[in-house]
A and B are shown apart, each in its own frame.
Chain A
Amino acid sequence: MSALLLSSALNLCSGPPLVSLDFPSTPALALPRGSRNQKIRKLKAGFWESIRSGILKNNTAQVIEPASTAEEEVPFPEEFVLVERTRPDGTVEQIIFSSGGNVDVYDLQALCDKVGWPRRPLSKLAAALRNSYLVATLHSISKSAGEEGNGQKKLIGMARATSDHAFNATIWDVLVDPSYQGQGLGKALIEKLIRALLQRDIGNISLFADSQVVEFYRNLGFEPDPEGIKGMFWYPKY
């Protein structure tokens, strides 16, 4: 995936160009996330050992995906390691996918800054996340060789979907940290988000894509203007 394709964070049009951002700025609010329960899938010890020995031997990146079939019961919210790799200096980096929506709103704003989106009030960002049906995130966790404990965690990608909880879901705000683009992470993020939505029986998944990312979403199974149905916007800023 070229950097150009993922430039400006996949630019779904909830991205600021269309929104008249004339809300007064409000004091920053922390995103209340305590009530949400996150189940972390524990990988079996044997599996970890095999991965670890593979890493130490080859120093290559491994893509670890949970072995799930369509019939398997997947607990929600999900959290699992998407990629694990060892850097030359020995630090181990894991990219973690989560559908639990555990997003620090300050981290999110920093990520939006990184991809070049105009600022949106923190309180509104927090509200938008709270009101979203599913918030999927990618976090990077880095641990020095031999370091115990949690390591350094940072938000490197996010996508969220709003929904009526029954029929339709719409994906908004897809973004991946520019330094992590071009590695298939955006693709994985959307694939997992779609799977989570389908598993919740949401039959209609839609989104609005800037022209330069239409191909990206086509490759993920989306079709533009199916049966000639057109996306329309009320007095867009374009």
Chain B
Amino acid sequence: MLLPTQIPIVPNPLPPKTLTRPRRRDAAVSAAYSVSDESLSARGFTFHRSTERLNLDHLNSVFASVGFPRRDLEKIRTALEHTDAVVWAEYEKTRRPVAFARATGDGVFNAIIWDVVVDPSFQGIGLGKAVMERTVAALLRKGIRNIALYSEPRVLGFYRPLGFVADPGGIRGMVYVRKPKK
């Protein structure tokens, strides 16, 4: 969930604000990516939608570079085996992952997007947005419409232009932090 420090300047794929909400959502469902796979490939990045060629040690390094605690590789492997969608960007020159996102859920109704990361050396050029758009698209293709995530306060502005709304209708994200007081 740690994200680029700058919001890249790319054409906004969202329809104008004059449309009513349901139509805006429908339009977003069928919108093309802000930046195409071809365009990103021309800049040296390949997008993958499976973990087949993903080196977990390299991924762990990207996590570490953005401040995640280093996690057990076997646990990462297990987590990736139980995922509804995974998207990662490979920098062709180094053959290493530089951006990543995964989503878990029940495969039909709900999904949560976790671990959205961009290597700090590659932030600010639109990779985070690209990875997010593709992750959402993969979930929508499966018919999953309830897509959620937990955002750190300083990157709310990253997710908003992507169509994410905080606390819609007063719904609050909650995390188990302790044993309940008796």
Instruction: Scan residues 194-238 of chain A and give those whose CB is less than 8 A from a CB of chain B.
Output: 194, 204-211, 214, 217-238
**CB of B108 closer than 8 Å to a CB of A:** yes
A118 at interface by CB-CB < 8 Å: no
Contact A164 B179 (CB under 8 A): no
Compute how far the CA of A19 lies from the CA of B171 in the bound complex, rounded to whole angstroms: 14
Q: Which residue of the partner chain, among A211, A218, A235, contacts B170 with CB atoms under 8 Å?
A: A211
Task: Write the nearest CB–CB distance from B152 to chain A, whole angstroms.
Answer: 6
**Chain B residue at minimum C-beta to C-beta distance from A191:** B180
**Dominant SS among interface residues on chain B:** mixed
> B177's closest neighbor in chain A, by CB?
A223
Complex CA–CA separation, A164 to B76 (angstroms):
9
- Partner of B166 from the list A17, A128, A205, A230 (CB cut-off 8 Å) is A230
Query: Which residues of B from 19 to 66 have beta carbons under 8 Å from A?
Result: 21-22, 24-25, 28
Check if B151 sits within 8 Å of A230, measured CB to CB.
yes
Majority DSSP secondary structure for residues of A touching B: mixed
- Contact-residue bracket for chain A: 35 or more
Q: Determine whether B104 belongs to the interface, using a CB cutoff of 8 Å to chain A.
A: yes
Chain A residues, Cβ within 8 Å of B24: 235
B150: Cβ under 8 A from any A Cβ: yes
Scan A6-32; emit 1 where CB is below 8 A from any B CB, else 0. Answer: 000000011001111001000000000
Interface bracket on B? 35 or more
A51 lies within 8 A of chain B by Cβ:
no
CB distance from A172 to the nearest CB of B (A): 6
Name the residue in B22, B148, B153, B172 with the highest tally of chain A Cβ atoms < 10 Å from its Cβ. B172
Within 8 A of A (CB), among B120-172: 136, 143, 145-153, 156, 159, 162-172
Are the CB atoms of A238 and B150 closer together than 8 Å? no
Q: Are A19 and B145 in contact (CB under 8 A)?
A: yes
Complex alpha-carbon distance, A220 and B175, angstroms: 11
Using known A-B contacts A165-B82, A167-B75, determine if residue A208 contacts B172 with beta carbons closer than 8 Å.
Answer: yes
The CA-CA distance from A33 to B130 in the complex, in Å, is 40
Which residues of the partner chain A approach B145 to less than 8 Å between Cβ atoms? 19-20
Chain A residues near B109: list those with CB within 8 A. 14, 19, 120, 124, 128, 172
**Highest count of chain B CB atoms <10 Å: which of A20, A162, A194, A238:** A162
- Enumerate chain B residues within 8 angstroms of A13, measured Cβ to Cβ: 146, 169, 171
A128 neighbours in B (Cβ, 8 Å) = 106-110
Question: Is the CB–CB distance between B82 and A164 below 8 Å?
Answer: yes
State whether A223 touches B165 (Cβ < 8 A): no
| Min CB gap A218→B, angstroms | 8
Contacts of A14 in B (CB 8 A): 109-110, 146
Q: Is the CB of A225 within 8 A of B172?
A: yes
B-contacting residues of A (Cβ < 8 Å)?
13-14, 17-20, 23, 120, 124, 127-129, 131-133, 160, 162-168, 170, 172, 191, 194, 204-211, 214, 217-238
